[in-house]
């Protein structure tokens, strides 16, 4: 009897250990590390040469937001494309109007800061490993919907980094990585809407998310930009307070 039950006991113990590892809490990092990770995130957002590379991560969150809300609103997600100029395209099938289409269109620019806000909440609750595993799972699911080579390579590199850090890195490295990612989403989520406004003033981006929303709702695009800015700035303020423990 003991020999037969031993494997089951070992398996149950392993599952318990895995559950504790993922959903348990980890020690909060030192305050200096929280500040330094915020500075690091800002350092890859402000310089233009670094931003044209790091912005790909914001595009992943942007297009992922479109795709997730499309599915939640009952639309059929056809695929996602990520481009080397940091633009992206999410194609879904369904009614070309109505609340589902409106929510899908509005999800892009609001997704990165809201993801950052959710990540800040998890970090404030000391769920560092859970954050990394959840992010890895979302990236792997999104990879299935990618429909171009550049997008697939980008997702494999990004998802691979999260997978390696969450599985192999020590707790200090995991904490530093998680805080950099969340700071990046919060800080980097503010910039794209301002860039889009500047591009529209120069006559570009005639079919932007704000313009699509304006046509769908008959609400001026300026009000949709106000929404994008309000969500990103409020998320930065709220998420920053959680991260800093204020």
CA distance 228 to 207: 16
What is the length of the chain? 246
pLDDT of residue 16: 63
CA distance 140 to 67: 14
Taking only the tens of pLDDT, the chain with its 246 residues reads: 445 456 666 566 665 655 556 666 778 889 999 999 999 999 999 999 999 999 999 999 999 999 999 999 999 999 999 999 999 999 999 998 999 999 999 999 999 999 999 999 999 999 999 999 999 999 999 999 999 999 999 999 999 999 999 888 999 999 999 999 999 999 999 999 999 999 998 988 888 999 999 999 999 999 999 999 999 999 999 999 999 998
- Domain range list for the chain: 29-244
175: Cβ contacts below 8 Å, ≥ 6 apart: 26, 29, 33, 128
Query: Buried (b) or exposed (e) across 20-55, using 16+ Cβ within 10 A?
Result: eeeeeebeebeeeebebbbeebeebbeeeeebeebb
Q: Are 23 and 130 in contact (CB under 8 A)?
A: yes
CA distance 172 to 182: 16
């Amino acid at each position: 009897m003991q020999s037969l039950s031993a494997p089951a006991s070992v398996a149950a113990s392993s599952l318990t250990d895995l559950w504790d590892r993922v959903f348990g809490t980890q020690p909060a990092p030192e305050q200096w590390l929280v500040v330094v990770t915020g500075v690091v995130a800002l350092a890859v957002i402000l310089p233009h040469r670094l931003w044209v590379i790091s912005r790909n991560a914001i595009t992943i969150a942007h297009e992922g937001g479109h795709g997730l809300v499309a599915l939640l609103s009952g639309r059929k997600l056809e695929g996602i494309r990520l481009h080397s100029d940091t633009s992206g395209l999410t194609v879904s099938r369904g009614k070309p109007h109505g609340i589902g289409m409106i929510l899908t269109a509005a999800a892009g620019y609001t997704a990165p800061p809201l993801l950052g806000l959710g990540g800040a909440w998890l970090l404030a609750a000391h769920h560092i490993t859970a954050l990394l595993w959840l992010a890895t799972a979302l990236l792997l699911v999104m990879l299935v919907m990618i429909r171009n080579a550049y997008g697939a390579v980008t997702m494999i590199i990004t998802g691979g980094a999260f997978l390696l850090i969450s599985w192999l890195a020590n707790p200090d490295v995991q904490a530093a990585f998680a805080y950099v990612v969340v700071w990046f989403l919060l800080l980097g989520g503010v910039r794209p809407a301002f860039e889009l406004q500047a591009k529209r003033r120069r006559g570009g981006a005639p079919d932007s998310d704000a313009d699509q929303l304006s046509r769908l709702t008959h609400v001026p695009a300026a009000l949709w930009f106000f929404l994008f800015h309000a969500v990103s700035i409020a998320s930065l303020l709220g998420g920053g307070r959680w991260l800093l423990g204020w």
